[in-house]
Amino acid sequence: MNYRVATNIYLREGVMNRTRALATGLLLAGALLTQGCGKEAPPPPPAPKAGIPPPLPEIVVKIGHAGPLTGGIAHLGKDNENGVRLALDEANAKGITIDGKKIKFELIGEDDEAKPDKGPIVAQKFVDAKVAGVVGHLNSGVSIPASSVYNQAGIPVISGAATNPMLTEQGFKVAFRTVGRDDQQGPAVASYLAAEFKPKTVAVIDDATAYGSGLANEVERTLKAAGIKVLPREKGTDQTRDWKAVLTKIRGKKPDAIFYGGMDATGGPLLKQGRELGINVVFSFGDGACTEEMNKLAGDAAEGLICSQAGLPVQAANKRFLDAYKAKFNADPILYSPFTYDAANLLIEAMKKANSVEPAKYLPELAKISYEGATGKIEFDEKGDRKDAEMTIFTMKAGKLEPLAIIKSGKTIKYEDFVKGGAAAAASPAAPAPAAAAPVEDKKGDKK
């Protein structure tokens, strides 16, 4: 082999070696890229098996609840929230589908502290969170200012506790309630007081809130119409715990009965101090103080009190709700949780009927709904109020609230007859009550 031939062979072998090295490097680089820093590329998804449809897409639908979760009436706010939670959990367990999608309901809870100025703030939080509907608020003084925010956003809101007429007198098509109004409740408790105790003079006190003063106005108006003397109004606040000055003033005027418009957190001390001052007349209250918390706050002084609730009593709710509530929360419902439970279910039922979770689409269905709930048949009038709402009169006996009578369609029915299903039996006309007064415009206060 001459020098030129040897040189050509050497050059060809060098080129081939470099080519093989380059190819090997490219293969290694491709392998590293395929592994993705040491991880194997995910396999392609398996093809669906024949005859088995793919799973439905799931969407989360947010439902808001607002009420006082801190402060003196937090027990009532939590009870209301429990009613909503139970309804949503039951709906999720059923696996509801709407518009071809599996729905998962999520509770968004907010503490409005029973403060009127917190109502719009909480409402705006719900709007920003894009909730599909709201159950709340507990307090009328909070519900009324919050309702304008919901109205502007077009979000349906149902209260299971707010009773001041102004809530639904504003003309907002998004606002509803599953309980009665104070211009129904006030005449009911006042008429019962007049018929059963026949007082000649009554002292009326309120806590200067939208609920308390509004209810007290209705009671006073009904008593006066029945020819009963009503003393000049006395007032406290939703924070008053020392009532001795007010009660001492009232004691000197020797009333035959006292009515207080306010919550149990303030009504309990008022009742206890009244008894301590030797005021041994009947004390009566609206629904805000119609709880067994009164027995804790007033002790033995609570025995024999008279109070009203804007709806059927808790124990008259259907057994399925009562059993489910007890099983889930290891406690009995307090006051308005059956009504918030129904409120949440009304939102869900309207969505199902409209086949949409969009507020604008299901709102018309909500307005015309007819629904059998835990608290009976629910339909709304053109204002958003519950049609033909019942009122219940209670007394405190041995530390427990016992229902005495149901007032429905202007007739008083003994509770035992109502339970037996004899709503038409033993019905006697309630004491005369004038036509409903104009809505109360005081937006200051607490509760209902």
Region 50-70 average pLDDT: 88
187 and 158 housed in the same domain:
no
Helix/strand/coil for 177:
strand
404 and 276 housed in the same domain:
yes
With beta carbons less than 8 A apart as the criterion, state whether 111 and 68 touch. Answer: yes
Q: Is residue 264 assigned to a domain?
A: yes
410 and 298 housed in the same domain:
yes
Q: Please state the domain count of the chain.
A: 2
* The model scores a pTM over 0.85: no
pLDDT at 52: 74
When comparing pLDDT for 421 and 196, which is higher? 196
Positive or negative, the Cα torsion across 138, 322, 308, 412? Answer: positive
137 and 269 housed in the same domain:
no
Q: Is residue 159 assigned to a domain?
A: yes
Q: Is residue 26 assigned to a domain?
A: no
172 and 253 housed in the same domain:
no
What is the pLDDT confidence band of residue 49, given thresholds at 50, 70 and 90?
A: low
Range of the domain at 247: 183-309+390-429
DSSP string, 96-157: -EETTEEEEEEEEEEE-TT-TTHHHHHHHHHHHTT-SEEE--S-HHHHHHHHHHHHHHT--E
Query: How far apart, in Å, are the Cα atoms of 238 and each of 149, 269, 295, 425, 447?
Result: 25, 12, 19, 41, 9
156 and 247 housed in the same domain:
no
64 and 161 housed in the same domain:
yes
- List, in sequence order, every beta strand (DSSP E) within 322-390: 370-373, 376-379
What is the pLDDT confidence band of residue 56, given thresholds at 50, 70 and 90?
A: confident
Q: Is residue 43 assigned to a domain?
A: no
278 and 401 housed in the same domain:
yes
pLDDT at 42: 56
Percent of the residues in the chain that have a pLDDT greater than 70, as a whole number: 83
Q: What CATH code is carried by the domain that includes residue 424? A: 3.40.50.2300
DSSP string, 193-213: HHHHH--SEEEEEE-SSHHHH
Domain's final residue, options 379, 398, 419: 379
Helix/strand/coil for 395:
strand
Q: Is residue 174 assigned to a domain?
A: yes
* Longest CA–CA separation in the chain, Å: 142
Q: Is residue 229 assigned to a domain?
A: yes
Q: Which residues contact 251 (CB under 8 A, 6 or more apart)?
A: 277, 278, 279
Q: Is residue 48 assigned to a domain?
A: no
302 and 342 housed in the same domain:
no
The partner residues of 408 in beta bridges, in order of sequence, read 411
What is the pLDDT confidence band of residue 46, given thresholds at 50, 70 and 90?
A: low
Q: In what order do the strands lie in the sheet with 175-177?
A: 97-98, 101-111, 58-67, 133-135, 157-159, 175-177
Region 390-409 average pLDDT: 94
Q: Is residue 385 assigned to a domain?
A: no
Q: What angle do CA 88, 90, 95 make, to 5 degrees?
A: 95
302 and 328 housed in the same domain:
no
105 and 128 housed in the same domain:
yes
- From the list 150, 188, 190, 195, the residue with the least C-alpha distance to 168 is 150
216 and 197 housed in the same domain:
yes
Tokens of 102: 């599996």
Report the relative pairing of strands 133-135 and 157-159 from DSSP bridges: parallel
